[in-house]
Chains A and B, each alone.
Chain A
Amino acid sequence: MLPVIHPSFRRLAPLVALIGVTVLAACAGGQPDAQAGRGTFDPYEEQNREVHAFNKDFDRKLVRPVSKGYDAAVPDDIEGAILRFSDNTSLPGAIVNNILQLNMKAAIEDTARLVVNTTVGLGGLFDPATEMGMPAASDADFGQTLHVWGAGEGAYIELPVLGPSTQRDTFGTVVDVFTNPLRYVLNDPSRAINRGTSVAKGLTRRSRFSDTIDEVLYDSADSYAQSRSIYLQGRRFELGGTGGETYTDPYEDDGSTAVMEDPYDQ
């Protein structure tokens, strides 16, 4: 029987090796920093492009004009106060994530900021913490927590209305809704105010970075690919994964290799 089994195993060997490599690759992807050098993993491109078309339409017909109107109608001082208020209400959720990441320094800094801005800053309408030179808010989120825990980025996903994300960050966004302590503390009208100010914050951002966003969405040859590239570069930078080593040397690169190389894969 042995001679029969032997050739069939040999035929299977490449397959077994391939599975081994895939498993290894999956493990490597789970290491926090290994993903920084990865290129774009976008197996859902077709669906993503449909969502992108919807988002673009949504922006053109609603978000962009409303943000312009909001910016024109609301005095800058009030717009700024609403923005600061909304930033302040995002701190409890960030503190939870700092603790989950065992980043006690950031947890304490964010807590100090929350205390100062809620009291001296009249409920967050002002930002004395920054004026006093306190460390900037950590902006920790659950997507970041998953990254710290070793989860890989996963596939690129464009979410309706919310825009570019990844599988990991999409999961993080959902979890953040439930881990935000304010959700359990606030009563109904306060929650509505909270939601309202988040929308206002989005409108302020849309109008403040209007030229940049317009350029990406309406002036680029392929707004889907452009926003995907910018999102992934920015997010990987935010998560601290991109040092200078992630860039290839254009003087040696003949363009045939991936855009970003894996620094651990050499």
Chain B
Amino acid sequence: MTNDTSRRTFVLSAVALAGTALVPLDAQALTEERARTLVAQVVREINQTIESSGSQAAVIRKFEQIFQRYADVSIIARSTLGADARRASNAQMQAFTNAFRGYITRKYGKRFDEFRGGRIEVNSVREVKSWHEVSATAYLPGQSPFEVRFLVSDKSGQDKFFDMVVEGISLRLSEREEIGAMLDQRNGDIDALIQALQNAG
């Protein structure tokens, strides 16, 4: 138990020192505390954003920062591309990841505005396969509370979330369907997909 407490103290002080939830990866594997800390930080920033009375543009900018800092954008991007990621060159993957980041930010940042006046609470953490699943509840005005799960992994070298699942609907899997359809429409041309993504969302 002492071990647990000291680890928690270590994590908390590391967070306090760094002023961020991005605990540098050490020999220790991702723990429940660290996964919870990451999501608590994400949720706190989301709550601050949806409490604020900033313009929609400000909300989108804030969402972009949160997504950039706490989500593993490159693995989400790679995963939405599916098997086609294997035939993409490094330069194409880089360009695709950047275009994907902008697309997601515009698409979901816009919707973030609907969260205004609401709040999110973190409930529980559990280990699933190689990652941790942090469950939270969103309370939005005029709607029944709903569940949001964050899938957190440290495999990128940092603690980041690689999926957000709202009432069972995964952002990553839904975008995989969308990106796949966009690629099909362009006969599998990855460069054309990147170009289209830069204007989508």
* Contact B167–A234 (Cβ < 8 Å): yes
Q: Which B residues between 79 and 123 are near A, CB-CB below 8 angstroms?
A: 79, 81-86, 107, 111, 114
Question: Are A229 and B177 closer than 8 Å at their CB atoms?
Answer: yes
Least CB distance from A95 to B in Å reads 20
Contacts of B21-36 to chain A: CB distance below 8 A? none
Please determine whether A225 and B111 come into contact, CB atoms closer than 8 angstroms: no
**B residues 143-176 touching A (CB-CB < 8 Å):** 144, 149, 151, 153, 155-156, 162-163, 165, 167-170, 172-174, 176
Verify B131–A233 contact, CB threshold 8 A.
no
Interface status of A136 (Cβ within 8 A of chain B): yes
Interface centre among B76, B129, B168 (most CB of A within 10 A): B168
Interface flag for B56 (CB, 8 Å)? no
Q: How far is the CA of A10 from the CA of B50 in the complex (A)?
A: 68
Instruction: Assess whether B174 is in contact with A249, with CB atoms less than 8 Å apart.
Output: no
B11 on interface, CB distance cutoff 8 Å: no
Minimum Cβ distance to chain B for residue A217 (Å): 13
Which chain A residue shows the least CB distance to B83?
A255
Residue of B nearest to A242 (CB): B168
* Bound CA–CA A226/B155 (angstroms): 29
Q: Are B79 and A253 within 8 A (Cβ)? A: yes
A221 to B178, CA, bound (A): 6
Does B126 contact A220, Cβ atoms closer than 8 Å?
Answer: no
A221 contacts B128, CB within 8 Å? no
Q: Is the interface of B mostly helix, strand, loop or mixed?
A: helix
Are A255 and B82 also in contact (CB < 8 A) when A220-B181, A250-B162 are? Answer: yes
Total inter-chain residue pairs, C-beta < 8 Å: 94
Q: Is the CB of B86 within 8 A of A254?
A: yes
Please state if A254 and B169 are interface contacts (CB–CB under 8 Å): no
Least distance between B160 CB and chain A CB atoms (Å)? 11
Tell me the complex Cα distance, A253–B144, Å: 35
**What's the minimum C-beta distance from A81 to chain B, rounded to whole angstroms?**
14
B78 near A250: Cβ-Cβ < 8 Å: yes
| Mask: chain A, 226-248; 1 = CB below 8 Å from B; 0 = not | 10011001101110001111010
Q: Is B13 an interface residue (CB 8 A)?
A: no
- With A234-B169, A237-B168, A251-B75 as given contacts, are A243 and B128 in contact (CB-CB < 8 Å)? yes
Interface size on A, residues (CB 8 A): 31
Cβ-defined contact, B173 with A233, below 8 A: yes
B167 touches A221 (CB 8 A): no
Contact A237/B86 with A229-B174, A244-B126, A251-B75 known, Cβ cut-off 8 Å: no
> What chain A residues lie within 8 Å of B177 (beta carbons)?
222, 225-226, 229
How many interface residues does B have (CB within 8 Å)?
43
Residue among A226, A242, A250, A255 with max Cβ neighbours from chain B (10 Å): A250
Q: Is A256 an interface residue (CB 8 A)?
A: yes
Closest CB in chain B relative to A209 CB, distance in Å:
10
| Complex CA distance for A215 and B169, rounded to whole angstroms | 15
Q: Which residues of B contact A236 (CB under 8 A)?
A: 168
Interface check A77, CB cutoff 8 A? no
Choice from B85, B111, B181 contacting A222 with Cβ under 8 Å: B181
Tell me whether A211 and B114 are in contact in the complex, defined as CB-CB below 8 angstroms, given that A225-B181, A233-B170 are known contacts: yes
A221 with B84: in contact, given A230-B174, A251-B153 (CB under 8 Å)? no
Question: How far, in Å, is B54 (CB) from chain A's closest CB?
Answer: 19
Instruction: Give the nearest-CB partner of B128 in chain A.
Output: A244
Q: Quick check: B168 and A245 within 8 Å, CB to CB?
A: no
Chain A residues whose C-beta falls within 8 Å of the C-beta of B40 in the assembled complex: none
Q: Is the CB of B182 within 8 A of A221?
A: yes
In the assembled complex, the CB of A259 is this many whole angstroms from the nearest CB of chain B, namely 6
CB pair A254 B83 closer than 8 Å: yes
List the 5 closest A-B pairs by CB distance, nearest first: A237-B168, A222-B181, A244-B128, A255-B82, A250-B79
9 interchain pairs, CB-CB under 8 A: A215-B111, A220-B178, A234-B167, A236-B168, A238-B168, A249-B129, A250-B75, A251-B130, A255-B82
What residues make up the interface of B, taking CB atoms closer than 8 Å to A?
A: 75-76, 78-79, 81-86, 107, 111, 114, 126, 128-131, 133, 144, 149, 151, 153, 155-156, 162-163, 165, 167-170, 172-174, 176-178, 180-182, 184-185
A residues with CB within 8 A of B: 136, 211-212, 215, 220-222, 225-226, 229-230, 233-234, 236-238, 242-245, 247, 249-256, 259-260
What would 5 more interface pairs be, CB under 8 Å, given A221-B182, A222-B178?
A215-B107, A225-B181, A247-B163, A249-B129, A250-B78
